[in-house]
């Protein structure tokens, strides 16, 4: 059992009140680490450090090239530490090892990608007439408070930390209470790469005692949040008093549209992965599966067969393709949706938890498929955040578009068809920030990520992900020399 400290101002500290809480391995239900239980005064300390590092420190004043060099080095060190970080991520979040390795690789790439952007943030010189000149320059916003969830612990943190540091912002990161370990492991990596003290701080704690004070803090300029719709609304409201820049990456109830002319096997596999990967704990999971009526029975059968072959177990077992859910709370939440779903719709698949006695205390929920679901049922409207697929039949493109768009969410959508015109026209008509054609879930670092409607505010990743860490300054220069000639 490892007792972690938190990282504030380049030092490892305990919480002021010396409280700690356990970090649990969801495959066994047993604690494997403990972390400080940060309170508002600890958040103050971290914010003060980040504020000083921004106002007087070296990081925002470093040359773009120097910042790039540090971020490149971070990528190298993450790659060097890959196996260790991947194992910690599995123990912390439950996900299968192969998926954790992909997360670590993408996190390393994100630092490399944003290292490249440090030297490419450009201003502009808009025309303002013959007697003046306008320079538009971009500056880092200041102190960024970054609050992240537990489904992709390191990746969700790095998705915010890398662009924030690239612009010269300083950071206070609050990982989810369920999965704080890899965020803490990031600190020595950034330090080794040469990041000065105070530029990056981690406070481990719960939403009410550590997240909320960060959102309200007058010395924090920006909040980047990923998590539930419910808390996202609170963050926006609480951030309003200090008029914080707020970006939100919230939930989804993403449609997956399976047309009869799709490449059948490919569509079955992609549709299933879209809801069973990462135990379905994905904001963009394709949880509403619309299937064209002429292939409805065949597709349902094929997806049930696929779901039956999912190997549920510990993420550390190489044979595992689906791990436990992240926590007992999440398991209970998903199981309660499943029992509700049994009253609303028909069950095509309800798998069994693993029979290994060593995993008896784990938070497993096997793949579950409901069919003959209608779009007004609870299981078609609310985000379940588990491996629960709802299958709904449709007849025409217009029908499925109306149903797919009938949701408060608008994060992602997938379209499976070999007819490129139909697929593209469907993609254009969907109210979603990301539409996959003949695929589900890829989220390349180079392309924007974020939601329409109540799925969020702002965009992460790619150059879009930089803009929310930058202020725009206009410098106007009077060039009128009084000479009318
Ligand atoms: P949550 O939204 O409560 O937690 C996300 C982060 O926000 C955590 O770091 C948490 O400590 C922090 N937080 C909680 N309350 C806060 C507050 N008042 N002020 C500031 N920060 C606060 O999500 P939770 O409870 O872990 O999961 C509940 C549901 O949320 C899931 O079942 C799922 O439906 C959804 N969710 C969506 C995610 C996404 O990627 N969009 C990620 C995690 C959860
Ligand atoms: Mg919560």
Residues 104-115 pLDDT 10s: 999 999 999 999
Atom of ligand 1 nearest to the CA of 282: 40
Separation CA 67–CA 61 (nearest Å) = 9
Residue among 228, 239, 449 whose CB has most ligand 1 atoms within 8 A, to mutate: 228
Minimum-distance ligand to the CA of 177?
1
Secondary structure letter of residue 242 according to DSSP: G
**pTM for the whole structure:** 0.98
CATH superfamily of 255-437: Aldehyde Dehydrogenase; Chain A, domain 2 (3.40.309.10)
Counting ligands in written order, the one closest to the CA of 179 is 1
The closest-lying atom of ligand 1 relative to the alpha carbon of residue 384 is 34
Task: Give me the tens of pLDDT residue by residue for the chain, a chain 485 residues long.
Answer: 999 999 999 999 999 999 999 999 999 999 999 999 999 999 999 999 999 999 999 999 999 999 999 999 999 999 999 999 999 999 999 999 999 999 999 999 999 999 999 999 999 999 999 999 999 999 999 999 999 999 999 999 999 999 999 999 999 999 999 999 999 999 999 999 999 999 999 999 999 999 999 999 999 999 999 999 999 999 999 999 999 999 999 999 999 999 999 999 999 999 999 999 999 999 999 999 999 999 999 999 999 999 999 999 999 999 999 999 999 999 999 999 999 999 999 999 998 889 999 999 999 999 999 999 999 999 999 999 999 999 999 999 999 999 999 999 999 999 999 999 999 999 999 999 999 999 999 999 999 999 999 999 999 999 999 999 999 999 999 999 987 65
Each residue's pLDDT tens digit, 253-305: 999 999 999 999 999 999 999 999 999 999 999 999 999 999 999 999 999 99
230 alpha carbon – ligand 2 mean position (Å): 8
**H or E segment at 258?**
strand 255-258
- 67 C-alpha vs ligand 2 centroid, how far in Å? 35
The pLDDT value given to residue 151: 98
Q: 249 CA distance to ligand 2 centroid (A)?
A: 14
> How far apart, in Å, are the Cα atoms of 177 and each of 92, 208, 209, 251, 402?
10, 11, 11, 18, 38
The whole-angstrom distance between residue 275's C-alpha and the CA centroid of its chain comes to 16
Query: Which residue carries 């990596």 as its tokens?
Result: 189
**Residue listed under structure tokens 């502009």:** 124
459 three-state secondary structure: coil
**Spacing, Cα 148 to ligand 2 middle (Å):** 11
Residue nearest atom 32 in ligand 1 by C-alpha distance: 385
Can you tell me which residue has the tokens 């039949």? 393
- Residue 194 near residue 70 (C-beta atoms within 8 A): yes
User: Which one from 89, 283, 292, 383 is the annotated catalytic residue?
Assistant: 283
Alpha carbon 192 to its chain's center: 26
283 is catalytic: yes
Is 169 marked active-site?
no
Tell the residue nearest (CA) to atom 19 of ligand 1: 212
d(CA 283, CA 412): 9
Distance from the CA of 208 to the center of ligand 2, in angstroms? 9
- Ligand 1: atom nearest CA of 215 is 20
Q: Which residues line ligand 1 (CB under 6 A)?
A: 147-151, 174, 176-177, 206-208, 211-212, 215, 226-228, 231, 234-235, 249-251, 283, 330, 333, 383, 385
Which of 149, 156, 379 to mutate to test ligand 1, by most ligand atoms within 8 A of the CB atom?
A: 149
In this structure, the strands spanning 6-8 and 132-140 are unpaired
Q: What is the 3-state secondary structure (H, E, C) of 274-327?
A: HHHHHHHCCCCCCCEEEEEHHHHHHHHHHHHHHHHCCCECCCCCCCCCECCCCC
The CA-based dihedral angle spanning residues 326, 327, 331, 336, taken in that order and rounded to the nearest 10 degrees: -120
- Residue identified by tokens 């719960």 is 206
Tens of pLDDT, residue by residue over 205-230, are 999 999 999 999 999 999 999 999 99
Pocket test for ligand 1, best of 184, 227, 249 (most atoms within 8 A of CB): 227
The domain ranges of the chain are 2-250+455-473, 255-437
Q: How far is the centre of ligand 2, averaged over its atoms, from the C-alpha of 478 (Å)? A: 53
Ligand nearest to the CA of 207: 1
Instruction: State residue 485's pLDDT score.
Output: 53
Largest CA distance in the chain: 92
User: Which of 297, 223, 217, 288 lies closest to 255, judged by CA?
Assistant: 288
Task: Please give the structure tokens belonging to residue 355.
Answer: 């029979």
Burial 8-31 (b: 16+ CB within 10 A, else e): bbbeebebeeeebbebbbbbbeee
Sheet hosting strand 245-249, strand order edge to edge: 11-13, 6-8, 200-202, 170-174, 143-147, 222-226, 245-249, 456-457
Other CB atoms within 10 Å distance of the CB of residue 241: 10
Q: Can you tell me whether residue 117 is helix, strand or coil?
A: helix
d(CA 478, CA 133): 7
Atom 29 of ligand 1, residue of closest alpha carbon: 228
| Closest residue CA from atom 4 of ligand 1 | 227
So what's the pLDDT on residue 468? 95
Indicate the Cα dihedral angle 470, 248, 70, 65, nearest 10°. Answer: -20
CATH topology of domain 2-250+455-473: Aldehyde Dehydrogenase; Chain A, domain 1 (3.40.605)
How many Å apart are CA 180 and CA 352, to the nearest integer? 30
Between the CA of 472 and the centroid of ligand 1 the distance, in Å, is: 31
Angle between helix 153-167 and 181-193 (nearest 10): 30
Q: What is the pLDDT of residue 362?
A: 98
Centre of ligand 1 to C-alpha 346, Å, is 30
Which ligand sits nearest to residue 334's alpha carbon? 1
What is the token pair recorded at 337?
A: 């949706």
Identify the nearest ligand to the CA of 450 by its number: 1
């Amino acid at each position: 059992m490892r007792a972690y400290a938190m990282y504030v101002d380049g030092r490892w500290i305990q919480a002021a009140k010396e409280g700690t809480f356990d970090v649990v391995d969801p495959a066994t239900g047993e604690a494997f680490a403990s972390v400080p239980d940060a309170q508002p005064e600890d958040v103050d300390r971290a914010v003060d450090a980040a504020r000083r590092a921004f106002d007087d420190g070296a990081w925002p004043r470093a040359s773009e090239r120097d910042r790039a060099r540090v971020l490149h080095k971070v990528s190298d060190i993450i790659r060097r530490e890959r196996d260790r970080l991947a194992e910690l991520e599995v123990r912390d979040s439950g996900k299968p090892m192969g998926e954790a390795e992909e997360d670590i690789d993408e996190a390393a790439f994100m630092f490399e990608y944003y290292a490249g952007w440090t030297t490419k943030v450009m201003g502009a010189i808009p025309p303002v007439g013959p007697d003046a000149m306008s320079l538009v320059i971009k500056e880092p916003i200041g102190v960024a408070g970054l609050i992240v969830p537990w489904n992709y612990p390191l990746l969700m943190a790095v998705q915010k930390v890398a662009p924030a540091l690239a612009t010269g912002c300083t950071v206070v990161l609050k990982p989810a209470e369920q999965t704080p370990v890899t965020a803490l492991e990031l600190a020595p990596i950034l330090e080794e790469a040469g990041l000065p003290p105070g530029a990056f701080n981690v406070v481990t704690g719960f939403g009410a005692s550590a997240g909320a004070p960060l959102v309200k803090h007058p010395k924090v300029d920006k909040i980047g949040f990923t998590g539930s719709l419910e808390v996202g609304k609170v963050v926006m409201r609480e951030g309003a008093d200090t008029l914080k820049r707020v970006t939100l990456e919230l939930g989804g109830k993403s449609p997956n549209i399976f047309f009869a002319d799709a490449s059948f096997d490919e569509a079955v596999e992609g549709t299933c992965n879209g809801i069973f990967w990462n135990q379905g704990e994905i904001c963009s999971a394709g949880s509403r599966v619309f299937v064209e009526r002429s292939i409805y029975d065949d597709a349902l059968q094929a997806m049930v067969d696929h779901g039956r072959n999912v190997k549920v177990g510990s993420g550390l077992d190489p044979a595992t393709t689906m791990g436990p859910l992240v926590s007992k709370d999440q398991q209970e939440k998903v199981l309660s949706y499943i029992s509700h779903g049994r009253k609303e719709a028909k069950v095509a698949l309800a798998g069994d938890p693993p029979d290994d006695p060593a995993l008896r205390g784990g938070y497993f929920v096997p793949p579950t498929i409901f069919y003959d679901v209608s779009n007004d049922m609870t299981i078609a409207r609310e985000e379940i955040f588990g491996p629960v697929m709802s299958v709904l039949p449709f007849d025409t493109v217009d029908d499925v578009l109306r149903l797919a768009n009938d949701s408060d969410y608008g994060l992602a959508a997938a379209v499976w068809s070999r007819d490129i015109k139909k697929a593209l026209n469907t993609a254009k008509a969907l109210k979603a920030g990301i539409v996959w054609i003949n695929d589900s879930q890829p989220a390349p670092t180079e392309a924007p990520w974020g939601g329409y409607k109540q799925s969020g505010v702002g965009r992460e990743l790619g150059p879009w992900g930089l803009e929310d860490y930058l202020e725009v300054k206009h410098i106007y220069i009077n060039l009128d020399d009084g000479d009318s000639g």
